[in-house]
Every structure is written in structure tokens, then in C-alpha cells.
């Protein structure tokens, strides 16, 4: 866990490449097509990879799943909304809106499960919880964000719904339908699939940031803006980890499920955030709105490893 996460390296490379060599001009349309194709592939692989039997088996753990779902899709979006409203006078409007977008995202699957395992938590509960939250996220995140942002900030009309269904829902449904035929291939080529995932996310980030760079993102955000991003992410991290841990204690979960709820409740998925931003928002806006999500993703990795190690060291004997 001490080495730099490969996904972090790819994200940083995408941002640097977009800064030095942003795609634009006559290539912008082609780049957006490639990005959309990469997102389609990403959600198709997600559909292949999330086993229905594990999800169905874990649905019975309602004492964990119901409050966790409420925390991820009610409490965290509410916190993101408050950050959007409170920073709107200080930060550029699209950047402040990025906190609301961040709050509505589902949790990660791989890292939430990995840190739950490292902390000595219930890994089976973590896998099922994160999988269910991401399945819900495919259906819930976009309309929830549009509802909270309002039509003026984030119009989500029939065209937007059709785009989400075509690029996100359709490939996910195809992956689920073809799971029996192609699931074995995914299992047998696990490393290749992981890198296909990472590359798809990096392409989405590169295309989004290319548009933002051409719009002068680095000149538009002053030092106070960067401080606002870091401060907002820190506040959401404290709320996410502290709030989910407190809720899990109040409802009487055992220690293993409390750890699973904390990591699934606090962590936010760049795998959903980056593709969704490129689908929902115009190219010029996507990179700016995505900035808080990228900052939060990096911060949660920095926080999660020592926190998991501390929880593991404090296991009751």
C-alpha cells in the first residue's frame, strides 16, 4: 500500500498529458468518440464482472445495506450540496458544483474491499455492498445530481437521459446478460481487464481535461481556489469516514461490518465519476467539475492506508 497506486499514476499522467498536449480542433470530435467508446467498454466490463449470485446472496444483509445506501445516496449528496452552496461565492461556479457531483457518486469496489480486508473487516460484506452501490449508481447518480443541482446548473433532459442509457446502462446490461458466456474470459484475464478498466478511465480524464485546459483552467483557478478544493475534500473525508463509522455504531453492527460500511460509505469512485462527467457535461465544463473528484480520490488513498493499519492494530483480543 505504500507504493503509488497504478491508478493514481495513470490519472496524473492523463492530467499532465492534457496540460502539455491537449486534444482539440479537428481532433476534438474524434477524441470524444474514443472517450465514449472507452466508457462503453468500461461499463460492459463492469456488467461482466459483478456476479449476480453474490449480489443476490448479500441482499439479506439489510442491517448493513439499507443504512449504507441511505448514507451514500442521501447523507453524502447532502454534504456535497452544502459544500457547493458554501463555496459558490469563493470558487468558480463549475468548480463549486463539482462538490455536489462528488457527493452523489457511489463508492469504489476494489479499493473499499482492499482496505476493508487490510483493516480486518468483513470482506464479503464489503464486496456485496460496494457492488450494489455501484449498480445503483448507474441508475441513480445522474438523475440525483440533476435533481439537486437544478435545471439551470445541470440540465438533464430526454437527450441527456438517452445518452446515459446508451453509454452507461446499455453496456452494463449487456455485460450482465453475457456473464455466463464471457465471465470465464474475464476471470482468466484478470490483469488485462484491470488495465482495460484503468485505461478507459484515464482516456475519459484526458479528454475532459484537454477541454478544460483549452478553456484556461490553470489560469482561472487562483491559489485560493486550490485551497478551497483541498479544504472541501478534507471536510467531506471527515464527514464520510466519521459519519459512516458513527452510524454503523448507532445501529449496532459488529466490528467487521462497521469497517466495511466505513470504507464503502466514505470512498468515492473515480471509475464512475470520470466517465459520467464526460457523458453528462459539455467538454468545456467536464474537466473543471471533475477536479474535486480527482482531488478526493487521491486524498482518500492517502487517508485509507494508515487508517486501515490502525484499525487492524486495534482489533480487540
Comparing CA positions, the residue from 11, 10, 104, 40 lying closest to residue 275 is 40
How much is the pLDDT for 1?
42
The CA R_g of the chain, rounded to the nearest whole Å, is 19
CATH number of the domain bearing residue 202: 1.20.1530.20
How much is the pLDDT for 83?
95
pTM > 0.75: yes or no:
yes
124 contacts 284 by C-beta, under 8 angstroms:
no
Would you give per-residue pLDDT tens digits along the chain (317 residues)?
A: 446 667 677 878 888 898 888 887 777 778 878 877 887 887 788 777 766 665 565 566 788 889 999 999 999 999 999 999 998 888 888 899 999 999 999 887 667 877 888 888 887 788 778 777 877 887 888 889 988 988 655 555 555 566 667 776 788 778 878 888 887 787 787 788 778 877 877 887 787 778 778 777 777 777 888 888 999 999 999 999 999 999 999 999 999 999 999 999 999 988 788 878 877 888 778 888 988 998 898 888 778 878 888 888 876 65
CA–CA gap between residue 251 and residue 273 (Å, rounded): 30
How much is the pLDDT for 71?
96
Domains identified in the chain, total number: 1
Identify whether 86 is part of a domain: yes
Q: Cβ–Cβ contacts within 10 Å for residue 156, how many?
A: 18
Phi, psi of 107 (to 5 degrees): -80, 170
| Full residue range of the structural domain in which residue 129 is found | 6-311
How much is the pLDDT for 235?
96
CA–CA gap between residue 15 and residue 208 (Å, rounded): 9
Identify whether 316 is part of a domain: no
| Residue 225 burial class via C-beta count within 10 angstroms: exposed 0-12, middle 13-18, buried 19 and up | middle
Identify whether 317 is part of a domain: no
Q: What angle (nearest 5°) sits at the alpha carbon of residue 203, between those of residues 202 and 206?
A: 85
Amino acid at each position: 500500500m505504500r507504493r503509488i497506486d497504478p491508478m493514481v499514476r495513470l490519472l496524473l499522467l492523463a492530467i499532465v498529458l492534457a496540460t502539455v498536449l491537449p486534444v482539440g480542433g479537428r481532433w476534438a470530435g474524434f477524441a470524444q468518440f474514443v472517450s465514449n467508446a472507452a466508457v462503453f467498454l468500461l461499463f460492459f466490463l463492469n456488467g461482466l464482472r459483478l456476479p449476480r449470485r453474490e449480489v443476490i446472496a448479500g441482499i439479506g444483509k439489510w442491517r448493513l445495506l439499507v443504512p449504507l445506501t441511505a448514507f451514500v445516496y442521501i447523507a453524502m449528496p447532502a454534504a456535497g450540496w452544502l459544500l457547493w452552496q458554501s463555496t459558490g461565492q469563493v470558487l468558480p461556479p463549475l468548480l463549486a458544483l463539482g462538490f455536489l457531483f462528488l457527493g452523489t457518486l457511489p463508492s469504489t469496489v476494489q479499493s473499499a474491499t482492499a482496505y476493508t480486508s487490510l483493516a480486518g473487516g468483513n470482506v464479503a460484506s464489503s464486496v456485496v455492498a460496494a457492488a450494489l452501490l455501484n449498480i445503483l449508481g448507474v441508475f441513480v447518480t445522474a438523475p440525483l445530481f440533476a435533481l439537486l443541482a437544478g435545471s439551470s446548473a445541470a440540465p438533464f433532459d430526454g437527450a441527456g437521459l438517452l445518452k446515459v442509457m446508451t453509454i452507461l446502462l446499455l453496456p452494463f446490461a449487456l455485460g450482465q446478460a453475457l456473464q455466463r458466456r464471457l465471465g470465464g474470459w474475464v476471470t482468466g484475464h484478470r490483469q488485462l481487464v484491470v488495465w482495460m478498466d484503468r485505461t478507459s478511465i484515464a482516456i475519459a480524464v484526458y479528454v475532459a481535461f484537454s477541454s478544460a485546459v483549452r478553456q484556461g483552467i490553470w489560469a482561472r483557478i487562483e491559489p485560493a481556489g486550490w485551497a478551497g478544493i483541498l479544504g472541501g475534500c478534507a471536510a467531506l473525508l471527515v464527514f464520510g469516514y466519521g459519519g459512516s463509522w458513527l452510524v454503523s455504531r448507532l445501529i449496532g453492527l459488529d466490528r467487521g461490518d462497521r469497517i466495511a460500511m466505513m470504507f464503502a460509505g466514505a470512498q468515492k469512485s473515480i471509475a464512475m465519476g470520470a466517465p459520467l462527467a464526460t457523458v453528462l457535461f459539455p467538454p468545456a465544463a467536464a474537466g473543471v467539475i471533475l477536479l474535486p473528484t480527482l482531488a478526493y480520490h487521491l486524498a482518500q488513498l492517502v487517508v485509507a492506508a494508515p487508517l486501515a493499519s490502525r484499525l487492524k492494530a486495534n482489533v480487540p483480543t
